[in-house]
Structure 1
């Protein structure tokens, strides 16, 4: 019987995607489920709705709640958390790498590294960094 697969749709700049991306493979593996990593650009969705960026920046009260909630959730799940100094961050390069590598065995590791870079290390994403270079050479 074929192993069940769960499609995980996410954006590297999404706070709540971070909570899921950092835990999903472990949770799925204990249940015998494989993960299909499916990056997409949430900013394009917002733009198609006529929004100017994230609802968390457009609605200050919603944004303040989300930042508090992220700190609480990361503490609950034991995840490193640093509120990004630039939000939301552009992530075209890592999205491209993840898209062309979606069937590679290292795509989950790569996606978690990008998420950590954003939400744990507070570093830019749309630049070449070691994980991008290494994995681009492997493709």
Structure 2
């Protein structure tokens, strides 16, 4: 019997991840799949792969394609879209808060608001405004949470979670893990959900 469980591993600075963040909760709920939100830091993994500037910046044609592709997929899925004016954002502080939120069980709502502000209002991920508005949205005290996220134990926890992602063989975001199976990319979300539901 399938356990109907899916791990959603993601990096806050990933463009395609916005498309998943905007829809995974609703499509997983429709299939009665439990989603475990797992923020991690992708750049250390990319740097080990020789991509010191990430997967798009050194390649202008690929970068142009990515922006148009994200826009097309947003239209296809009826997801609000406004190209951010800054790329890539500095996501470290947000990722630390996301990791803390994961342990306190408000990660999904926080992450959805972080991405919504970035991709629909131009309130860039990692900025004080994005962080504070997102924390207020989920009913958390910004000063308290920002302080907690900077504690050494929380920083260490996020690093360990990033090492776990690497150990799983994760090399990009979004990635979905179902048992021992990896599915990479927003366009594999439906495949991952079907696999979690035992459809193949």
TM-score normalised by structure 1 residue count: 0.87
Matched residue, 1:14? 14
Q: Does 1:41 align with 2:41?
A: yes
Describe the shift of the 1:33–1:65 C-alpha distance in structure 2 as closer, same or farther (beyond 3 A): same
How far apart, in 2, do the equivalents of 1:2 and 1:50 lie?
37
- Higher RCO (CA 8 Å, separation ≥ 6 residues): 2
Q: Specify the SS of the correspondent of 1:37.
A: strand
Matched residue, 1:50? 50
Matched residue, 1:130? 133
Comparing 112-121 with 13-22, greater Cα deviation is found at 112-121
How far apart, in 2, do the equivalents of 1:63 and 1:127 lie?
23
TM-align CA RMSD:
2.3
Matched residue, 2:23? 23
TM-score normalised by structure 2 residue count: 0.62
Matched residue, 1:64? 64
Deviation readout 1:87-134 (Å, 9 max, x if unpaired): 110111221111112144432111111111222222222233222364
Comparing 118-127 with 79-88, greater Cα deviation is found at 118-127
Give ranges in structure 1 of 5+ residues lacking alignment.
none
